[in-house]
Amino acid sequence: MQADIQVIPDTTELSHVVAQWWLTLSQQAIQTQGGFYVALAGGSTPRTLYQLLSQSPYLDAVDWQKVHVYFGDERPVPLDHADSNYRMAWEALLSKVAIPEENVHPILIDACDIESSAKNYEATLQRTVVVKSNGIPRFDLILLGMGDDGHTASLFPDTLILDEKTKLVAPVYVEKLKTWRVSLTYPIINMAKHIAIIAAGDAKADKLYEICVKQTKRNPIEQINPEGELIWYLDSKAAKHLPPEMLNKVSLANTQANMTGA
Ligand code: 6PG
């Protein structure tokens, strides 16, 4: 485990630290390539981060007109369904910032033809994500969560999508949930310039110990090894079984100091 593991005491401060990183990366990307291309995580953990980004100082500091938002995965439900990752992001962030409608790219899923839904999203990525490497769209930032079973996005244990080496977006049937999902695959996730894995709460602690200390390599999230930068952002509860020497204890104060060069 070569990645940087940052532990921030509580979820709100953790979300501020990630929001600061979002701000920095967006400013760099917009300055160098004219736009910031980011894929959002679903689930519940990132909600606080999205809410913070919709408020000052981030509301005013991020150049939302040049932000392009995508999704790491989606459930086979309408965009206004309570289970939709898009709906969570819309309510917490996208409805509150001046991001152009054409810059927001939900994963549209036709439950009767989920293969085409995945192909269509891959075509959207190829058409709209301007930076590519070896023909693969290169996100500036991908946000990921972690399930207590070691999944990330919809890369669940014992699913065929884990072996996908060519497609960038694929459907996946998740037996334990008895449902289909559409998800980004390892090839495009690992092409990202920066990846933030955000995990919080006691329920993630045992799995993080298995991943970070025992390094069993049995968990889908352990195959997240980007060419770029990978930072794990953990709260104290999620990191409680990890040895102190493995962790970078981060507080918002020193993050902001680093940001301003103070
Ligand atoms: C999803 C997410 C999934 C999520 C993890 C963690 O669609 O559910 O993509 O990978 O990030 O399951 O979820 P929590 O943040 O709710 O623990």
**pLDDT tops 50 at residue 1:** no
Residue 255 domain flag: no
Residue 244 domain flag: no
Residue 248 domain flag: no
Mutate to test the pocket of ligand 1, among 107, 142, 151, 177 (most ligand atoms within 8 A of CB): 151
Residue 257 domain flag: no
Mutate to test the pocket of ligand 1, among 15, 88, 107, 154 (most ligand atoms within 8 A of CB): 154
- Of residues 234, 42, 23, 14, the one with CA closest to residue 141: 23
- Of residues 174, 183, 249, the one with CA closest to residue 8: 249
Residue 203 domain flag: yes
Confidence at 35, pLDDT banded by 50, 70, 90: very high
Cβ(146)–Cβ(204) below 8 Å: yes
Identify the residue whose C-alpha is closest to ligand 1 atom 10: 153
Identify the residue whose C-alpha is closest to ligand 1 atom 8: 43
Mean pLDDT (the chain, rounded)? 94
The pLDDT value given to residue 257 = 54
Opening angle at CA 119, ends 118 and 125, nearest 5: 90
Residue 132 domain flag: yes
Confidence at 256, pLDDT banded by 50, 70, 90: low
Count of domains forming the chain: 1
The CA 17 to ligand 1 mean position distance, Å, reads 20
Share of the chain above pLDDT 90, in %: 89
The more confident residue out of 111 and 163 is 163
The pLDDT value given to residue 259 = 47
Share of the chain above pLDDT 70, in %: 94
Cβ(108)–Cβ(120) below 8 Å: yes
**pLDDT tops 70 at residue 159:** yes
Q: Where in the sequence is the domain holding 219, given as residue range(s)?
A: 4-231
Give helix 252-260 / helix 11-33 axis angle, nearest 10°.
20
Ligand 1 pocket (Cβ < 6 Å) reads: 41-45, 72-73, 85, 145-147, 151-153
Identify the residue whose C-alpha is closest to ligand 1 atom 11: 145
Confidence at 246, pLDDT banded by 50, 70, 90: confident
How many Å apart are CA 176 and CA 28, to the nearest integer?
41
Ligand 1 atom nearest to CA at 45: 15
Residue 85 domain flag: yes
Residue 130: give its domain's CATH number: 3.40.50.1360
Residue 113 domain flag: yes
Answer whether 0.85 is exceeded by the pTM: yes
Average pLDDT, integer, range 92-101 = 98
Average pLDDT, integer, range 129-142 = 97
